[in-house]
Structure 1
Amino acid sequence: MREFDGDIVVVGGGAAGLAAAITAAEYGAKVIVLEKANTTGGCANMAMGLLGVETKLQKEHLIDLTRESAFKKFMNYTHWRSDAKLVKKYIDQSSETIEWLGEMGVEFALPSKYFPGSEATWHIIKPKTGNPGLRAAATMIKAMTERAEELGVTIMLETPVKNLIKDNGEIIGVTATDKEGELEVYAGAVIICAGGFGDSPEFIKKYTPYEWGKDLYSYRIPGLTGDGLQMAWDAGAGKDYMDMELVFFAPNTGGYAPIELPFRQPNLFVNLEGKRFYNEEVVENPVFSVNAIARQKNRVVFSIVDDKILKRYEENGLDLINVVTSSMDMSYFNQEMEEHMKNGSDVLFVADSIEELAKKTGIDKEGLSETMHQYNEACKTGIDKEFNKKQRYMKPIDGHKFYALKFAPSAYGSMGGIKINDKTEVVTEQAEAIPGLYAAGTDAYSICNPDYVFVLPGNSLGFAVNSGRMAGKNAVEHIKNLG
């Protein structure tokens, strides 16, 4: 059995793991990162930006959100289910973290809202080439990896950790494997940043209300199979709130695909019974929408438009856009629609009548016909007695061709599982700290409870980097106290 020694072992080389490793190394610790994949970054390579409050960039753009009001908004949104001390530390540190990343060469395009009703806390990362968008954070991961290596951090790729090593109640290292076989790494502290369970249908089915591929069509970053959670639980860690970071997409399209553009609008949404089920204005908030969708039969709904609405969007633009879709227009949709029609589609349906549309989608024909009649009558008056939707969104669906797109719950990844305190120490069910064990990022991401806090966008990556920094600093302090 080969043995290695360090001051701190970090399990996982994603955003949280790199932040923890860099921070610990900046305080003089000898750090070893063990990463399961053949590259660093994990799910952070898919991200766009991270939360910041009271940053220089916000002040330059006259965004006056304070830490105090952000904290209040966050806690009220979660109904105070979250660890208030941990949330406060996270928000208070977020501005400094943006500057910390900037010193590594990470540039930010703008602080953005996710949708009009949210706050401009989402600091979108500017990629080295191209426009800001999905996967922009890969640029940040590259800069963080280079910074870690510059500080002498040892990064061992394709080295999955198997277990924690515990001695007299204290965590003193880990066991792992690489291409050469088994190894042990001993250290004064271990920080778990393994990325959650988004690639584990078994974990999803067991610990959330969903079943992947049946009523959930989330991103699956290879290798994120709950390893970090399981090893922490085996070592005595308490289980904290677990769920998926829910949004809604057309199944198996990759999320925010161009085919969604005219359907992710405040038009008519119906369930399989052909009935409306919410005020479609809410479509701009992914969490509110998916909560409503999840209550419907088979957790499937359809957004319906006609050729007149499509033409209006082509001529005048969409009603709602967000930072993810702002770079797209209807030409993107038309191109993708042609592909769907040519190759066959199980999410996009086109028909010459409402009856034909019902047959193709599986929506109840009588229910849909009744809803269409009531909805078009309401559009004539501009008064939505059912859900009070704004008049400007009441567009009748009475054209010559009808289009429906299927939507279902999806998710960017998992949330939570390992119980930590505000010092990022892993704790038991009785809230007693396990000496030498820390957790950060997705594995400990239980602060968005019960919903992702979209009113303050940038939380997934923001919590990963900030909690990683906290864990790195706190682990170094723990080692100093040992000596």
Structure 2
Amino acid sequence: MREFETDVVVVGGGASGLAAAVTAAENGAKVMVLEKANTTGGCANMAMGPLGVETRMQRERLIDISVDRAFNKFMEYSHWRSDARLIRRYLEQSAGTIEWLENMGVEFALPSKYFPASEATWHIVKPKTGKPGLRAAATMIKIMTERAEELGVKILLETPVKSIIKDQGEVIGVTASDKDGELEVYAGAVIIGTGGFGDNPDFIKKYVGLEWGKDLFSYRIPGLTGDGIQMAWDAGASKDFMTMEMVFFAPNTGGYAPIELPFRQPNLLVNLDGERFINEEVIENPVFTANAIEKQKKKIAYSIIDEELIKHYEEKGLDLINVVTSSMDMSYFRQEEEEAKKNGSDVLFIADSIEELAEKTGIDAENLKNTIDTYNSYCDSKDELFHKNPKYLLPIKGSKYYALKLGLSAYGSAGGIKINYNTEVLNDDLNVIKGLYAAGTDANSLYNPDYAFVLPGNSLGFALNSGRIAGSSAVEYIKANLMEEQ
């Protein structure tokens, strides 16, 4: 058994772990990062950018957002289920974190909204090559990794942590393994940031109540199996609220695929009974739409359009776009449509009649016909069921009909380890487990009950900021212990 000693050991080399490691090292600590993958970053490599409030870029662009307004919006969104002190500290620090990253060399393209009703808090990373988009934050991770190594942080890859070592109730290190066998790392503080349980169907079923591959088609970043959460629980940590960062996509398409473009519009949405169940304007907010879909039979829905609507979008442009889809136009859809016709599709259905469409999708045919007739009548007057904005009332009367199957998805998990606003891990009595900290997705129980899409950039933003809080808190704890010993 090999033994190592350090001041701070960080379990996980993703956004929260790197933020914690760099912060602790900047505060004079000797730091080791143990990462079970063969590279740093984890799910942050898939991200686009973090939240920031009252940043320089926002001020320069006259974006009117304050910490007070963001805080109130977050707390109202969660009905005050979220930890107010933790959210306040996170938001107050967020502008400084953007500046901290910029000083490292990270560049940001712009502060953006996710959808029109959200705030422009999403600071999208400018990659070294190409336009900002999915995976843009990988550039940020590379820079953070280089900064950590520059500060002397020792990063051990392919070194999964097995357990937390405690002595008389205090956390003093971890056990791990690598290609050469078992090792123990003794430290003044341990910080957990392993990225959640998005790659663990058993955890998802047990703690969220959804079955992956059956009624949930979420992203699964390899290795995010909840091991950090489990080892914290084994060390006495209290379980906190656990959920998924819910969105909706056509199943097994990878999310925001071109095939979805004309269907992620405020058009007719029906369930398997052929009935409307939502004011389709809500479709711009992914979590609200996912909530509505989750309550339907088999947790699926269908967006119904016709050829005339497709031509309308080709000529006039889409009604709703977001930062992810803004680089695509309807030509992308047409290419995907041809591929689907050639190779078949289990999500896109095309028919010459409503009856044929119902047969292909499994939707109740009589109800679907009645729903479309009623919906078309609303287009000539007003939506008497949900009072949808008249500008989105476009009739479905074409000779060719399309339906896209929509199901539940998620960007990943959230929550599991109970922490306080210093990111100290708490036990079931809500007392601090000395020497143990948690950050990022493992401890992100702020989305109670839903991901706060009104303030986009939250997941990466919380990972970075809670990591920084954990890094500084751990160093303060170690220094206080040293003073007590002297």
User: Under a length normalisation based on structure 1, what TM-score does the superposition of the two structures give?
Assistant: 0.99
Name the counterpart of 2:472: 473
Name the counterpart of 1:46: 46
Equivalences for residues 428-443 of structure 1 within 5 A:
428-443=427-442
Q: Give the secondary structure class of the aligned counterpart of 1:85.
A: helix
Number of aligned pairs? 482
Letter in 2 for 1:472: G
Cα deviation per residue 1:183-233 (whole Å; 9 max; x = unaligned)? Answer: 111100000000000000000000002110111000000000000010000
Q: Does 1:184 align with 2:187?
A: no
Letter in 2 for 1:228: G
Name the counterpart of 2:335: 335
> In structure 2, what is the Cα distance between the partners aligned to 1:283 and 1:66?
27
Q: Does 1:326 align with 2:326?
A: yes
CA-CA distance at 1:367 after TM superposition: 1.1
Name the counterpart of 2:285: 285
Name the counterpart of 1:423: 422
> In structure 2, what is the Cα distance between the partners aligned to 1:373 and 1:447?
43
> In structure 2, what is the Cα distance between the partners aligned to 1:64 and 1:408?
35
Q: Give the secondary structure class of the aligned counterpart of 1:57.
A: helix
Q: Does 1:26 align with 2:45?
A: no
Q: Percent identity?
A: 73
Q: Give the secondary structure class of the aligned counterpart of 2:273.
A: coil
Name the counterpart of 1:241: 241
Letter in 1 for 2:279: N
Letter in 1 for 2:96: E
Name the counterpart of 1:257: 257
Name the counterpart of 1:390: 389
Q: Give the secondary structure class of the aligned counterpart of 2:384.
A: coil
Name the counterpart of 1:111: 111
The worse-fitting range, judged by mean Cα deviation, of 333-342 and 151-160 is 333-342
Q: Which runs of 5+ in 1 are unaligned?
A: none
Equivalences for residues 121-200 of structure 1 within 5 A:
121-200=121-200
> In structure 2, what is the Cα distance between the partners aligned to 1:405 and 1:68?
41
Cα deviation per residue 1:408-455 (whole Å; 9 max; x = unaligned)? Answer: 110000000000001100001211000000000000000111100111
Q: Does 1:65 align with 2:65?
A: yes
Q: Does 1:458 align with 2:457?
A: yes
Q: Give the secondary structure class of the aligned counterpart of 1:50.
A: coil
Letter in 2 for 1:101: L
Letter in 2 for 1:352: D
CA-CA distance at 1:342 after TM superposition: 1.2
Name the counterpart of 2:7: 7
> In structure 2, what is the Cα distance between the partners aligned to 1:35 and 1:146?
15
CA-CA distance at 1:277 after TM superposition: 0.2
> In structure 2, what is the Cα distance between the partners aligned to 1:401 and 1:455?
36
Equivalences for residues 214-229 of structure 1 within 5 A:
214-229=214-229
Name the counterpart of 2:297: 297
> In structure 2, what is the Cα distance between the partners aligned to 1:448 and 1:140?
24
The worse-fitting range, judged by mean Cα deviation, of 366-375 and 435-444 is 366-375
Q: Does 1:35 align with 2:35?
A: yes
Q: Give the secondary structure class of the aligned counterpart of 2:331.
A: helix
Name the counterpart of 2:87: 87
> In structure 1, what is the Cα distance between the partners aligned to 2:278 and 2:246?
18
Cα deviation per residue 1:368-417 (whole Å; 9 max; x = unaligned)? Answer: 11101111111122x00010011111111010100000001100000000
Equivalences for residues 376-387 of structure 1 within 5 A:
376-381=376-381, 383-387=382-386
Cα deviation per residue 1:33-73 (whole Å; 9 max; x = unaligned)? Answer: 00010000000000001100000000010012111111111
Letter in 1 for 2:329: D
Letter in 2 for 1:468: G
Q: Does 1:272 align with 2:276?
A: no
> In structure 1, what is the Cα distance between the partners aligned to 2:399 and 2:127?
44
Q: Give the secondary structure class of the aligned counterpart of 1:110.
A: strand
> In structure 1, what is the Cα distance between the partners aligned to 2:376 and 2:99?
52
Name the counterpart of 2:231: 231
CA-CA distance at 1:482 after TM superposition: 1.1
Cα deviation per residue 1:162-202 (whole Å; 9 max; x = unaligned)? Answer: 00001100110000110111111110000000000000000
Q: Give the secondary structure class of the aligned counterpart of 1:165.
A: strand
Letter in 2 for 1:404: A
> In structure 2, what is the Cα distance between the partners aligned to 1:285 and 1:399?
28
Letter in 1 for 2:178: D
> In structure 2, what is the Cα distance between the partners aligned to 1:355 and 1:64?
50
> In structure 1, what is the Cα distance between the partners aligned to 2:448 and 2:384?
33
CA-CA distance at 1:134 after TM superposition: 0.5
Name the counterpart of 1:204: 204
Letter in 1 for 2:379: C
Q: Give the secondary structure class of the aligned counterpart of 2:380.
A: helix
Q: Give the secondary structure class of the aligned counterpart of 1:438.
A: strand
> In structure 2, what is the Cα distance between the partners aligned to 1:64 and 1:314?
34
> In structure 2, what is the Cα distance between the partners aligned to 1:237 and 1:342?
53
CA-CA distance at 1:98 after TM superposition: 0.1
Q: Give the secondary structure class of the aligned counterpart of 2:50.
A: strand
> In structure 1, what is the Cα distance between the partners aligned to 2:241 and 2:61?
36
> In structure 1, what is the Cα distance between the partners aligned to 2:462 and 2:418?
15
Name the counterpart of 1:75: 75
> In structure 2, what is the Cα distance between the partners aligned to 1:11 and 1:2?
18
Q: Give the secondary structure class of the aligned counterpart of 1:6.
A: strand
CA-CA distance at 1:304 after TM superposition: 0.6
Q: Give the secondary structure class of the aligned counterpart of 1:51.
A: coil
User: Under a length normalisation based on structure 2, what TM-score does the superposition of the two structures give?
Assistant: 0.99
Name the counterpart of 2:408: 409
